[in-house]
């Protein structure tokens, strides 16, 4: 049975979106739709142009017998602007204020549409780097790490603060939480990360960077290296930052408990990330 172009476009769009960074041979699509490779090529040109124009991403074509096409998720500048403003507005809601000046963020972390956008932006920030794995720390980093992993198509490893019988042998290190100067422990299952892996570290919140610094030290125990660091929120309220090279979506500038005001601004995202898709003016 032959498929019309319109059906092919819908199905190929879905297929490619589901499999970012996986090389799909043209012959796979040709067989799937019982169509000529030349028709498939034309389809892919349409999809590539539309993906780029609409801020979805791009298609990379690898020529030759072992070649094919690969979907790379990227973000448009307008989309990134919009998502980051949305995050700022959501976070400035004074209802988030908790005793001690902490902010309630659990609802944001549990919002799949929002976290998917966060994951897309973080993935786009590191889309040109070679990344084998995303590492995060339980609990609130997990949704962000998974969302980014869906766009980069790499596994997530989860650092915990305790050992579990279901983790097998573990590597554990002590670290100093930067803001509270308290010694804490972090644990990673030994088999979850291979030697030499290039690791993107992701977390929900960074103040002095003690937790992220701990993850960097943990990577050394695996002879693994840091491919990048991305956080949803960085806090400005810190004397010394333990981590320098990171990407943040938003920055918590000030929490005034007395007047119940929270000030949240754009993070360093746009100064660190410069490759956006060229979108049409809408």
Q: Does 93 bind its own copies (CB under 8 A)?
A: no
With CB under 8 A as the contact rule, the residue among 118, 158, 226, 232 that binds its own copies is 158
We find the least distance from the C-beta atom of residue 3 to its own copies, in angstroms, to be 9
Ramachandran quadrant class, 34 (left: phi over 0; alpha: psi -120 to 50; beta: rest): left
Shorter beta-carbon distance to its own copies: residue 3 or 272: 3
ω into residue 139 within 30 of 0, thus cis?
yes
Alpha-carbon gap, residue 132 to 159, rounded angstroms: 16
CB of 7 to its own copies, least distance (A): 5
Q: Closer to its own copies by CB, 18 or 174: give it.
A: 18
Which residue from 65, 66, 165, 183 is in contact with its own copies, where contact means CB under 8 A? 165
Q: Work out whether 94 is an interface residue with its own copies (CB under 8 A).
A: no
DSSP 22: -
Residues 71-90 that bind its own copies (CB under 8 A): none
Stretch that binds its own copies, among 4-12, 74-82, 239-247, 261-269 (CB under 8 A): 4-12
Closest approach of its own copies to the CB of residue 235, in Å: 12
Tokens at residue 242, please?
């333990």
Closest CA to 135 of 209, 240, 243, 214: 214
**What is the smallest separation between the CB atom of 64 and its own copies, expressed in angstroms?**
25
CA dihedral 150→282→109→209, nearest 10 degrees, is 80
State in angstroms the smallest separation of the CB of 140 from its own copies.
8
Q: Is 110 an interacting residue with respect to its own copies (CB under 8 A)? A: yes
107 near its own copies, rule: CB under 8 A? yes
Q: Does 149 bind its own copies (CB under 8 A)?
A: yes
State the virtual CA torsion across 267, 271, 274, 280 in degrees, nearest 10: 60
Instruction: Please state, in angstroms and as integers, the Cα–Cα distance from residue 235 to each residue in 11, 182, 216, following that order.
Output: 43, 19, 19
User: With binding defined as CB under 8 A, does residue 39 bind its own copies?
Assistant: no
Q: Does 124 sit near its own copies (CB under 8 A)?
A: no
Residue 30 binds to its own copies (criterion: CB under 8 A): no
CA 209 – CA 139 distance, rounded (Å)? 16
Task: Give all strands (DSSP E) within 141-282, no chain letters.
Answer: 156-159, 170-177, 182-189, 198-206, 225-235, 247-256, 261-266
Q: Which of 63, 64, 100, 240 binds its own copies (CB under 8 A)?
A: 100
Sign of the Cα torsion 95, 98, 100, 103 reads negative
Structure tokens at 64: 């030759």
Residues engaged in binding its own copies (CB under 8 A): 1, 5-7, 9-11, 13-14, 17-19, 32, 46-47, 49-51, 53-54, 56, 98-100, 102-107, 109-113, 115-116, 138-140, 142-143, 146-147, 149-150, 153-158, 160, 165-168, 189, 191-192, 280, 282
């Amino acid at each position: 049975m032959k498929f019309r172009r319109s059906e092919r476009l819908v199905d190929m769009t879905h297929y490619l979106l589901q499999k970012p960074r996986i090389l799909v041979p043209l012959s796979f699509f040709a067989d799937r739709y019982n169509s000529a490779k030349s028709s498939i090529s034309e389809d892919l040109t349409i999809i590539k142009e539309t993906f780029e124009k609409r801020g979805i991403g791009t298609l990379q074509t690898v020529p030759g017998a072992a070649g094919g096409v690969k979907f790379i998720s990227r973000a448009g500048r307008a989309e990134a602007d919009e998502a980051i403003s949305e995050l700022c507005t959501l976070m400035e809601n004074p209802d988030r204020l908790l005793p001690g000046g902490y902010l309630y963020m659990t609802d944001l972390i549990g919002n799949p549409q929002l976290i998917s956008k966060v994951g897309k932006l973080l993935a786009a920030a590191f889309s040109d780097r070679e990344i084998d794995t995303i590492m995060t720390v339980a609990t609130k980093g997990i949704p962000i790490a998974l969302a980014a992993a869906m766009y980069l198509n790499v596994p997530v490893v989860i650092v915990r603060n305790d050992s579990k019988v279901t983790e097998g042998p573990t590597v554990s290190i002590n670290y100093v939480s930067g803001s509270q100067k308290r010694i804490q422990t972090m644990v990673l299952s030994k088999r979850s990360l291979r030697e030499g892996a290039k690791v993107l570290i992701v977390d929900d919140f960074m103040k002095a960077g003690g937790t992220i610094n701990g993850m960097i030290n943990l990577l050394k125990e695996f002879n693994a290296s840091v491919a990048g660091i991305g956080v949803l929120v960085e806090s400005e309220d810190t004397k010394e930052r333990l981590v320098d090279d990171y990407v943040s979506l938003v920055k918590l500038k000030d929490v005034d408990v007395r007047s119940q005001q929270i000030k949240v601004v754009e993070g360093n995202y746009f100064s660190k990330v410069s490759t956006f898709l060229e979108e049409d003016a809408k």
